Amino acid sequence: MFLICLLLWILFNGRITVAILLFGIVISAAVYALSCALFGFSWKKDLAFFKMIPGILGLFRVLIWEIIKSNLAVAKMIWSSGKISPSYETFVTPLHTTAARIALADCITLTPGTITALLDGDHYTIHCMSESMAAGLDQEHNTFVRQLLKIERSGEARR
């Protein structure tokens, strides 16, 4: 967070001089110290977040690929005979953290043809546009779940 504050300081100033850089370091350190005192930030948590960045980038890569595949499937469904058979599917996720569960719900909703209708603890209810999309929710083969489990494991390693 200290580096983000410092980068924002430099960005908002629009130029870099020694005075601006030194003043930015002092201000960023003060903001970081206040954040640590009031909101529970720490350099250990910041370091743990940096360790999770490769997994988060992998999740974005998976999300973009799944969006492309789903867009093609929805377009094919619309332009072909129109075999749309919507259904609700429920499943339980193996994810442990609330953040990972919410990320999974968001990934499912961002993927065309599926909407997260209900998230209750580790139980999901998903509205699917067709049976083939419902089959993609299989937890053992779901790429979102696999990537989120990797992120959770990297997060557990920091504790």
Same domain, 52 and 90: yes
Q: Which residues pair with 91 in a beta bridge?
A: 124
DSSP-derived secondary structure letter, 112 = T
- Contact call for residues 16 and 6 (beta carbons, < 8 A): no
Same domain, 142 and 74: yes
- What pLDDT sits at residue 139? 62
| Spatial CB neighbours of 123, under 8 Å, sequence gap ≥ 6 | 90, 91, 92
Q: Of the given ranges (11-20, 78-87, 120-129), which has the lowest mean pLDDT? A: 78-87
Domain count, the chain: 2
Same domain, 54 and 33: no
Residue 21, token pair as written in the block? 């850089």
Which amino acid appears at position 79 of this protein? Answer: W
Same domain, 124 and 151: yes
| Confidence band for 141, pLDDT divided at 50, 70 and 90 | low
- What pLDDT sits at residue 159? 47
95 vs 136 pLDDT, higher one: 95
Same domain, 33 and 56: no
Same domain, 147 and 119: yes
Q: In what order do the strands lie in the sheet with 114-120?
A: 87-92, 123-128, 114-120
Cα distance between residue 91 and residue 27, in whole Å: 48
